Amino acid sequence: MDTPESSLTSHPFFQGLTPRHLSIIGECASRVNFQAGQFLFREQEEAAQFYLINHGQVAVEIFRPRRGPITIQTLGEGQALGWLWFDKPYHWHYDARAVQLTRATALEVKSLMHICEQDHELGYALMKRYGHMLAVQFRVITLQMADMYG
């Protein structure tokens, strides 16, 4: 049976976590679908969920009044979306829009934070993954900026 917990087990972001930790995280997970063009979230909205993309593509965009939406990154299967949920004020600083039908696992941020506070071993494991994800995103954006302005 394809459950939110089974999608956590197969997602690269959670590879290597113990079955106990995956079971705990699975309690705040749900399966979500987005049609092409549908927003996963908008700038300034509360960052209530963290997404693991299982299928499809999502454009991460910033909106500029004179230029409209500018895609700064496109994420796909096996990637995580939601870099800024680990620190207050928990609001999005960009938009995310499905480019095509996208299936994802959504993790409820407040529950996930509570779990990390209660289980420091799990919290540390998630912080290591989150730190790695941020480092990768920083490298990608640095290369994009060098290409744009270099």
Residue 133's pLDDT is what? 83
pLDDT digits 0-9 by tens, 44-89 = 898 889 899 999 999 999 888 888 888 888 999 999 998 666 666 6
CATH of the domain at 93: 2.60.120.10
Alpha carbons 30 and 10: distance in angstroms, whole number: 15
Residue 1 has pLDDT above 60, yes or no: no
- pLDDT, the chain, mean: 87
pTM (predicted TM-score): 0.86
In the beta sheet, which residues pair with residue 36? none
Domain count along the chain: 1
Angle between helices 19-26 and 109-118 (to 10 degrees): 140
Please give the order of strands across the beta sheet that includes 68-76. Answer: 39-41, 95-98, 57-64, 68-76
Q: Which domain holds residue 128?
A: 4-149
133: tokens are 């994800």
Residue 130's pLDDT is what? 85
Lowest mean pLDDT segment, chosen from 38-42, 63-67, 74-78, 117-121: 63-67
